[in-house]
Structure 1
Amino acid sequence: MSHPRLLTPERHLVAAKRGLGLPVIVAICGSTRFMDAMTEADLQETAAGRIVVRPGCNMKEPHALWGDPADAEDLKCRLDELHRAKIRLADEVLVVGDYIGESTRSEIDYARALGKPIRYTHAAVDPYCAAGTNADGSVTLHPATRDDDIEATAE
């Protein structure tokens, strides 16, 4: 006797988005030092017909919401959880910038664990593949071997 396959919450979400005819949802990830680049990526993705979710607060810029260090730490934890929810909602992830720190690396690992496709504005910072440029200008991907922060050396 075969048993019906139960849908996980994730499969329900995918089916609901498909049933609603929603466009692809892209979660933008990266260091908030690249907020201008995130804005540009948001513009490009939106113009391509995709729904974009991205960080909405830049805690590197002064603001009353995070002026008090205790408030800032609490808010950072809540924003990290909110961003993980955006990654769960998204169909794919776009990592912006030529640097990947601990927080962005954690987001990439989370997206990978969920099976989300991941694109990079700077392929050389992919912590799982490092790009090498060949003499003819083509790019060869090699597995990355380091676990520390990764910064692109070439664009």
Structure 2
Amino acid sequence: MPDRPEIVCICGSTRFVDEMNAANRDLTFAGVIVVAPGVFLRTEDHGAAEWITAEQKAALDVLHLRKIDLADRVLVVNPGGYIGESTSREIAYAHATGKPVSFTDPA
């Protein structure tokens, strides 16, 4: 038995909050430690009911890279194969740091 459970970082567009929550639940029940986005508000230019500032988004993006650092692997939640700009950066970062990356929808 390993010293600690596997740690998985969930990445993906915050528009997929329901899908991310489902992945988090499934992984948690499987005994995995999950790190995931903690804020699901959108920036003003994406038409959300509540907004975060560009500065807050930049800080959250950097924080999420630190979450990837903590993880053993990355799971990208990408219904329909969608991968946005921030998620693309996170995938590139994960690859650059040697983290395995898998996708919920490989399409």
Please state which band the TM-score falls in when normalised by the shorter chain.
Answer: 0.7 to 0.9
Tell me which amino acid in the other structure corresponds to 2:17.
M
In structure 2, the residue matched to 1:108 is: 91
Q: Answer with 1 or 2: which has the greater Rg.
A: 1
Match of 2:67 among 86, 93, 97: 86
Equivalent of 2:28, from 35, 46, 49?
46
Equivalent residue of 1:75, what SS? helix
Report the Cα offset of residue 22 of structure 1: 1.6
CA distance, structure 1, for counterparts of residue 57 and residue 84 of structure 2: 15
**Comparing both structures, which one devotes a greater share of its residues to helix?**
2
Structure of higher RCO (CA pairs closer than 8 Å, 6+ residues apart): 2
Measured against aligned partners, the alpha-carbon deviations of 1:120-151 in whole angstroms (never above 9, x if no partner) come to 10012xxxxxxxxxxxxxxxxxxxxxxxxxxx
State percent identity of aligned pairs: 52
Which of 67, 70, 75 matches 2:56? Answer: 75
1:27 aligns with 2:23: no
Instruction: Map Cα deviations across residues 2-49 of structure 1 (whole Å, 9 max, x no partner).
Output: xxxxxxxxxxxxxxxx7xx22100000000110100000000000111
Matched residue of 1:100: which SS?
A: coil
Return the match for 2:39 from 33, 50, 57: 57
Match of 2:45 in 1: none
3-state SS in 2 of match to 1:52: strand
Aligned equivalents of 1:106, 1:59: Cα separation in 2: 19
Which residue is 1:132 aligned to? Answer: none
Q: Read off the aligned partner of 1:90 and give its amino acid letter.
A: A
Deviating beyond 6 angstroms after TM superposition, the runs of 4 or more aligned structure 1 residues are none
TM normalised by structure 1 equals: 0.61
Question: Cα distance, 1:63 vs. partner?
Answer: 4.0
Aligned to 2:26, the other structure's residue is in SS state helix
Output the CA distance in 2 between the equivalents of 1:103 and 1:54: 14
Q: Which residues of structure 2 form unaligned runs of 5+?
A: 43-47
Residue 62 of structure 1 and its aligned partner are, at CA, apart by 3.8
TM, length-normalised to structure 2: 0.86
